[in-house]
A and B are shown apart, each in its own frame.
Chain A
Amino acid sequence: MSDQTLPAQKPRGAESPLRRIIAEFFESRTAAVGLVIFALVAFVALFAPWISPQNPYDLSQLDIMDGTLPPGSESFTIGTYWLGTDVQGRDMLSAIMYGLRMSLIVAGTATLLALAIGIATGTAAAYFGGWVDTLIMRIVDMQLSFPAILIALILLAILGKGVDKVIIALVIVQWAYYARTVRGNALVERQRDYISAAQCLSLGHGRVMFRHLLPNCMPPLIVVATVQIAQAIALEATLSFLGVGVPVTEPSLGLLIANGYSYLLSGRYWISFFPGIALLITIVAINLVGDQLRDVLNPRLRK
């Protein structure tokens, strides 16, 4: 077998950086727990239509007689309502699974798009310098001087409701963070010899920027992106709670919480309490992962 012809063990210094990062990441037990929880949350969100007890938005599966039942109530349709039901007799556990799906899709898509825009503008600003840099960074500075929620509210007030509009708002709110992070790192990396070497080989701007400069700017960007995903989930939930986010037909966790809000006052807490707990678990898990990533990827803390 070909495996046996390879050297049995690589010397320790040649260990791949990825493997080192993974090993160091799991040194912290809380971070590992955070990652496992996040994986579970992502799994539930991804496979919600197949693993949820009922389809909460198929009206034929709902029994209005089961409205606002407390957690643990028995029913004839799907067995036990572990987390209770809302006013239309919808199983809250299923609604939360679907809501989680919506929240993660919106926040994930927005983060990826914002990341792409931020990387492109940030790298361009650092690489070209001069007026390109000044222009881009002035826009970034101006935007970052306003709180994210205010900008998102203004955008949605003008654009109107809708999943696509929430994503646009989140992208516009977030890209500036990435642009600033990328530019900061790229400015440092640009001074290094390997960039000069690549330029001496008269490689194209695009190739130097994306094949040489960018990969070396990735670590801090990953950290910022993890933190920003949690922020995006929280912001989307807030916007949907305020009624300017996703439409009623495709509720996210924030909208579920808003729907249960009026029942909270009459003591039927579970309609908005459990979606809130789901939101909380997701955000805290991501933050735990982000904290550990920041320590692991920070070269200054490297052992």
Chain B
Amino acid sequence: MLVYFLRRLGQSLIAIIVMAILVFIGVYAIGNPVDILINPEATQREIDATMQRLGLDRPLWEQFFIYFGNLLQGDFGRSFVYGQPAMEIILQRLPATLELAFVALVIAIVFGIPLGVIAGLKPDTVLGKSIMGGSILGFSLPNFWQGLMLILIFAVLLGWLPAGGRGPTTEVLGIRVSFLTWEGLRHLILPAVNLALFKMALVIRLARAGTREVLLLDYVKFARAKGLSERRVITVHVLKNIMIPVVTVLGLELGSMIAFAVVTETVFSWPGMGKLLIDSINLLDRPVIVGYVMLTVFIFVFINLTVDLVYSGLDPRVRAGMRNE
């Protein structure tokens, strides 16, 4: 286990370092770092001072170590637009994105699993087929288009929900959240559903495949033979066993939700990290862009590592596989 842990940790570190090097090449070697990292409206004196602070007047390999050292300290320079350290701005926006991703994940599970189980129990009925048809649409339609249609239907035509923005927030333990007030919740629903749709389609497929597989197994037959009610067979015996693949995949997908939040946040003007990234790209606010990239890569690698480790801890087959290696 320890060897496995260390090896995975090493791989994760390599992934982060490789990304850092790629960003360095992109910013310093391909582009002109003076243009990229220094505010175009800065005076010559400011330019000189920043160049010295970032070490842009030194050879390239030395610059790399300065860049990497700053990276380790979480220092990405100051945002041109806000004048604050880039990391601070990004971290301020992080809770909004995490709340959105988390609520979307809950929606995907709460609606996806029952729908998938129904489709698995009755694969040949109209209901089962329409659930699967819906999940294919959820897969193949671009996320932003689904978001626009949600706005068109629920905000413009029906007028039930607001079209964008975050609405009022409440502070809980120093983090601002929207799901505690009615108005905040109303703002949260559409973006969260938009972000959830793709994952819901995925959960439906996993749950359906799992249900169809499990229903044929002996222990389900045995449970039925014992005279247990159909409800109990499904909620206890079937559900427990389809949860393993669903949880694994969703754990891995949590990271991609943060990436897809870029689209949803832009469509619904949700003030999270993703919208900040798009705004920063449009305003050429490079320190924020570099900060976002490195933070997201870090979050990603961290999630992948955690899921792998938790999985290997939980699933006896994976553990056995490691021992045999």
Query: CB within 8 Å of B: which residues of A?
Result: 142, 145-147, 149-150, 153-154, 156-159, 230, 234, 237-238, 241-244, 254, 257, 261, 264-265, 267, 269, 272-273, 276, 279-280, 283-284, 287
Contacts and interface: CB of A to CB of B under 8 A. Distances in A.
A273 B156 CA distance: 13
B262 A283 contact: no
Contacts of A269: 152, 156
Given A147-B260, A149-B259, A157-B281, A264 B156 contact: yes
A74 to B, nearest CB: 26
Nearest to B142: A234
Given A157-B277, A261-B148, A276-B145, 17 more contacts: A142-B18, A146-B297, A146-B300, A147-B259, A149-B262, A153-B259, A153-B277, A158-B27, A238-B142, A241-B263, A257-B145, A264-B148, A264-B152, A265-B156, A276-B148, A280-B145, A283-B141
26 contacts: A142-B15, A142-B18, A146-B259, A147-B259, A150-B256, A150-B259, A153-B259, A153-B277, A153-B281, A156-B281, A158-B27, A159-B26, A237-B142, A238-B142, A238-B143, A241-B263, A244-B281, A254-B142, A264-B148, A265-B151, A267-B156, A269-B156, A272-B148, A276-B149, A279-B145, A287-B136
Contacts of A242: 144, 262-263, 266, 278
A154 B294 CA distance: 10
B245 interface: no
Contacts of B27: 158
B136 to A, nearest CB: 8
Contact of A273 (B30, B142, B152): B152
Interface residues of B, number: 39
A278 to B, nearest CB: 11
A272 B143 CA distance: 14
| Main DSSP-derived SS at the A contact region | helix
Nearest to B258: A150
B155 interface: yes
B260 A149 contact: yes
Contact of B30 (A149, A154, A158, A287): A158
Contact of A145 (B145, B263, B293, B300): B300
A187 B15 CA distance: 26
A158 B282 CA distance: 12
A138 B152 CA distance: 44
Contacts of A153: 259, 262, 277, 281
B23 interface: yes
Contacts of B163: 265
B250 interface: no
Nearest to B288: A157
Contacts of A243: 278, 281-282
Nearest to B141: A280
Most buried by B among A230, A264, A283: A264
Closest 4 CB pairs of A and B: A158-B26, A150-B259, A147-B256, A234-B142
Interface string B277-288: 110011000000
B151 A264 contact: yes
B146 to A, nearest CB: 10
A268 to B, nearest CB: 10
A244 B30 contact: no
B169 interface: no
Contact of B263 (A156, A238, A287): A238
Nearest to B263: A238
Given A157-B277, A242-B263, A265-B156, A283 B31 contact: no
Contact of B293 (A154, A237, A261): A154
